[in-house]
Structure 1
């Protein structure tokens, strides 16, 4: 084992796929050395029992709450399921389509909740991965689960969409797929953004459907290059639900759009406030109505955007034209949040219930402590509006009030990184 390394198929991709296996088994997860964990099978009989018991409960709840039509998949082979990620219940839709336990890849946040994380592990054994960082252990666990005969499920986006359009996918998914060598079930969820946008707390009344849209056999992709395979996966899973039809109704259609929006087309960086089906800029008063067909209508004046995707793209364009060094003296934004330190794969330690956070063009300050962007490993958004800040040796989690916008921290951090790493024309802002 000391000389084992990941296969050559992963050469040329991030260090995640090239890490010596000797290092993997020195890592501790939940206090248990990985070399000891490996002696125990990942797949357990209880996983099938749990799935069997939950199936008749989850099905009616999913159909009633989401109005979803779920297509069953009668193919009982071991496989790799790849899906587009639109709602908080996507994993349950997948479970309802298949007749066996499925092992999902999940972020470290699920595994850092103390005793609750232990219960989740015992019941369904998801595969942990560190969000937006290199995590060789996640890759090795996938290979291990596949070797034991388990079916895996991965959302290549790693994020739920804010805008309705499928998020960025990491091309590194392709060499992993090729190494696993399993049939690929491409699972498409349609209508999910209309029913439950990431930025909203409410479920809208509307119709959605979920099921396998295509099966790609191993012999079909064996001769494809990683780049060609990735493009096939990306194309098949891509959705633009901001432009698709259907109506989704609720009295509070626009509520908490301020979790997504922080740039006004009239006055630039700002904050928003939403009520009912309307959202308003707190600086200049620009107001928009979000309609059941997912389009926007200006109130009192015309709006330059027809959909939230248009606004999201306009917001990204504004950030990509922004010079971060213009705001190093005064903060762009100030928030008050619940600040915790995450002990990865174990627990969260609450540091303070009321931390002052200040966002500058080149750094973030937590209760006066400066964290320059150049010294951070990543800033990510989790769930609807939580924010993780990865320093060299610590992981902080920010959880604001219901109107807190975590997205701006991610995108402004990535704008700074693009400029300072020589990719000034780079458009990718983290999602």
Structure 2
């Protein structure tokens, strides 16, 4: 649902005396750190003129990371961090209100994790959705996971996923997925601007036009530097030229939404495919080479 549609629905519910719960991130994070979210949330708060209750969850990421194929068992909790009355926020700027909300719900899965272990089977399976690059060779689309480990097809790059959410390399060094994600974005950014992008997988595709949904079928889906190509029987069916794509979003763990011209497309992939690689490729295309690496350490890329 669009931001505008969600706001209209929230206003209608508020007028009926109902309460509105909003999860600004839209889903679990890939890394365990709260992402920045749409500024339209501030507009909705101002339109509703209701008290805002900020509620923080902890432990949910480590029990079910967005990249993971399997759930983990561990301790999770939630609690109220702040209540903001209308009289308190009506005079402050949008930026101030946004920062208050963000700080009130911000969570880092690696804070106070020493006493919280999350156990399960096949702990690392699905990790290639996030770590889609071999960070030793700086080559994308060559990693795969099995049991509690991530491997590379082109080198001895290897990570072991721990029950506390850290990953350990072959030398015993521990790293958070938050920091690994920063390395991935930087390495893939350089690869994007210096090498050929070709990432081919199979997907089921649905086309939505307003209220009409149409199943298009199964396609070979090829990610390129400037487009996503759908092919069937070796023939090109459709090319999503990034120049004409309004937005790309990730839904759940294995679905990609493409807003293309006046239509919306839903691509459903196998569980081994990285939606994150598709999103970053699109974002790098939109940013072009005007991006200032020294000023901003890739925080504008990824889920937000």
User: TM-score, length-normalised on structure 2?
Assistant: 0.88
Q: Which residue is 2:288 aligned to?
A: 419
Q: Determine which structure has more spread, i.e. the larger CA radius of gyration.
A: 1
State the 1:313 CA deviation: 1.3
For residues 65-105 of structure 1, the C-alpha deviation after alignment (integer angstroms, 9 at most, x for no partner) is xxxxxxxxxxxxxxxxxxxxxxxxxxxxxxxxxxxxxxxxx
Instruction: Give the distance between the partners of 1:317 and 1:364, measured in 2 at CA.
Output: 22
Residue pairs, 1:215-234, within 5 angstroms: 215-234=83-102
Instruction: Give the distance between the partners of 1:207 and 1:243, measured in 2 at CA.
Output: 14
Which structure has greater strand proportion? 2
State the 1:344 CA deviation: 4.8
Instruction: Give the distance between the partners of 2:207 and 2:180, measured in 1 at CA.
Output: 33
For residues 358-390 of structure 1, the C-alpha deviation after alignment (integer angstroms, 9 at most, x for no partner) is 111111111123222111111111101211112
Instruction: Give the distance between the partners of 1:146 and 1:226, measured in 2 at CA.
Output: 21
Q: Which residue is 1:282 aligned to?
A: 153
Of residues 144, 162, 167, the one that matches 1:296 is: 167
Q: Which residue is 2:228 aligned to?
A: 364
Runs of 5+ consecutive residues of structure 2 not aligned to the other structure:
none
Q: Which residue is 2:270 aligned to?
A: 401
For residues 91-148 of structure 1, the C-alpha deviation after alignment (integer angstroms, 9 at most, x for no partner) is xxxxxxxxxxxxxxxxxxxxxxxxxxxxxxxxxxxxxx23xxxx42322222222122
CA RMSD of aligned residues (A): 2.1
Q: Which residue is 2:279 aligned to?
A: 410
Instruction: Give the distance between the partners of 2:133 and 2:179, measured in 1 at CA.
Output: 12
User: TM-score, length-normalised on structure 1?
Assistant: 0.63
State the 1:405 CA deviation: 1.2
Of residues 56, 62, 65, the one that matches 1:194 is: 62
Of residues 201, 211, 215, the one that matches 1:335 is: 201
1:250 aligns with 2:120: yes
Instruction: Give the distance between the partners of 2:280 and 2:112, measured in 1 at CA.
Output: 26
Residue pairs, 1:123-202, within 5 angstroms: 129-130=1-2, 135-202=3-70
**Which consecutive aligned stretches of 4+ in structure 1 deviate over 6 angstroms post-superposition?**
none
Q: Is the 8 A contact 2:192 2:281 kept in 1?
A: no
Instruction: Give the distance between the partners of 1:198 and 1:408, measured in 2 at CA.
Output: 14
Q: Is the 8 A contact 1:242 1:307 kept in 2?
A: yes
Q: Is the 8 A contact 1:412 1:429 kept in 2?
A: no
Instruction: Give the distance between the partners of 2:104 and 2:225, measured in 1 at CA.
Output: 37
State the 1:238 CA deviation: 1.0
Q: How has the CA–CA distance of structure 1 residues 142 and 423 changed in structure 2, closer, same or farther, with 3 Å as cutoff?
A: farther
1:208 aligns with 2:79: no
State the 1:280 CA deviation: 0.5
Q: Is the 8 A contact 2:55 2:104 kept in 1?
A: no
1:350 aligns with 2:222: no
Instruction: Give the distance between the partners of 1:288 and 1:405, measured in 2 at CA.
Output: 17
Q: How has the CA–CA distance of structure 1 residues 345 and 159 changed in structure 2, closer, same or farther, with 3 Å as cutoff?
A: farther
Instruction: Give the distance between the partners of 1:337 and 1:294, measured in 2 at CA.
Output: 30
Q: How has the CA–CA distance of structure 1 residues 326 and 205 changed in structure 2, closer, same or farther, with 3 Å as cutoff?
A: closer
Of residues 129, 132, 140, the one that matches 1:259 is: 129
Number of residue pairs the alignment of both structures matches: 291
Q: Is the 8 A contact 2:70 2:121 kept in 1?
A: no
State the 1:323 CA deviation: 4.3
State the 1:248 CA deviation: 0.6
Instruction: Give the distance between the partners of 1:285 and 1:262, measured in 2 at CA.
Output: 15
State the 1:424 CA deviation: 5.8
Q: Is the 8 A contact 2:150 2:158 kept in 1?
A: yes
Q: How has the CA–CA distance of structure 1 residues 244 and 319 changed in structure 2, closer, same or farther, with 3 Å as cutoff?
A: farther
Q: Secondary structure at the match of 2:280?
A: helix
State the 1:213 CA deviation: 2.4
Q: Which residue is 1:90 aligned to?
A: none
Runs of 5+ consecutive residues of structure 1 not aligned to the other structure:
1-128
